[in-house]
Structure 1
Amino acid sequence: MKENSIITGFHAHVYYDTETRETAARIREGLGARFEVKLGRWHDQPIGPHPQAMYQVAFSPNQFTQVVSWLMLNREGLDILVHPETGDDVTDHTAHSLWLGTKLDLNIDFLQRIKPHAS
């Protein structure tokens, strides 16, 4: 197994549906007001490996403790995927990921088609 210890950033994917979009908006507003994060576009339909509507929040490694701690306490019941950016999308979204709430089934085949996993 190749060791990889370089994390260039993190992504949090905040999942929502039509009933919880307002909650997702509150969380997004809170993140933007409190942290130097990059808020991605709203995706009201599943996109890429994500099985549900979501938006992405990108943040730097030195913000991990603050951003993830805030999300743990303020996710209002929404499911959130947090993963590192190491250059290996498949492993980042699976073995290296953490979930706040329920772990959703991602479409890993999508990631494998884009950038095959190096073995």
Structure 2
Amino acid sequence: MANPDAPYHAHIYYDPAERPAAVALRDDFGNDPAILFVGDMTDGALGPHPIAQYEVHFLAKTAPAVIAAIEATGLRALVHPLTDDDLADHTTLAHWIGEAVELDVTVLDPPGVNQGIPRFGFSDF
């Protein structure tokens, strides 16, 4: 790991049957001091995400614990660093937990312009 304080996102996906598990995980993350931000649950498509999801922000050094917590729920998730390349963050640099979701990459920022960077830790997509 190059920089333990590098920013990371996880997008937790859920369907209607999985919503209770997603809510429980979101509540757990809200009480975890390693989680810098917990976004609102969006019960539909938003940005590149075609299905219901919410976002959490954390640092690279806590990624193993965050990944383990998500894996324990059986929910699908996309975990990725936050760099200046939004497309790479959501594709080649991404780690999928469970079955991957086909993202709408046409809405992502071009390389060198990642609007997620100034929002890190402060707001959701």
Q: Same fold (TM over 0.5)?
A: yes
Which one has a bigger Cα radius of gyration?
A: 1
Q: Return the alpha-carbon distance in structure 2 between the equivalents of residues 66 and 18 of structure 1.
A: 26
Normalising by structure 1, report the TM-score.
0.82
- Cα pair 2:77 2:96 within 8 Å, conserved: yes
- The answer to whether the aligner puts 1:68 opposite 2:67 as a matched pair is yes
1:22 paired residue among 20, 23, 28: 20
- The answer to whether the aligner puts 1:95 opposite 2:89 as a matched pair is no
Relative to structure 1, the CA distance from residue 35 to residue 101 in structure 2 (aligned partners, 3 Å threshold; closer, same or farther) is: farther
Pairs within 5 Å for 1:34-73 = 34-37=32-35, 38-72=37-71
Ranges in structure 2 where 5+ consecutive residues have no aligned partner = 113-125
Q: How much does 1:101 deviate?
A: 0.4
Q: Return the alpha-carbon distance in structure 1 between the equivalents of residues 111 and 106 of structure 2.
A: 10
Q: Return the alpha-carbon distance in structure 1 between the equivalents of residues 39 and 7 of structure 2.
A: 14
> Alpha-carbon deviations, 1:61-106, whole Å to 9, x = none?
221122112222x22x221100000121100000000011001100
Residues 99-108 or 14-23, more deviating: 14-23
Q: Return the alpha-carbon distance in structure 2 between the equivalents of residues 85 and 27 of structure 1.
A: 22
Q: Return the alpha-carbon distance in structure 2 between the equivalents of residues 56 and 92 of structure 1.
A: 14
Between Structure 1 and Structure 2, how many residues are aligned? Answer: 109
SS at match of 2:31: helix
Q: Return the alpha-carbon distance in structure 2 between the equivalents of residues 10 and 78 of structure 1.
A: 18
Cα RMSD of the aligned pairs, angstroms, is: 1.7
- Aligned residue number for residue 7 of structure 2: 9
Residues 28-37 or 87-96, more deviating: 28-37
- Cα pair 2:77 2:98 within 8 Å, conserved: yes
Q: Return the alpha-carbon distance in structure 1 between the equivalents of residues 61 and 76 of structure 2.
A: 23
- Aligned residue number for residue 111 of structure 2: 117
- Cα pair 1:35 1:67 within 8 Å, conserved: no
> Alpha-carbon deviations, 1:28-65, whole Å to 9, x = none?
12222334211011111110000101000100122112
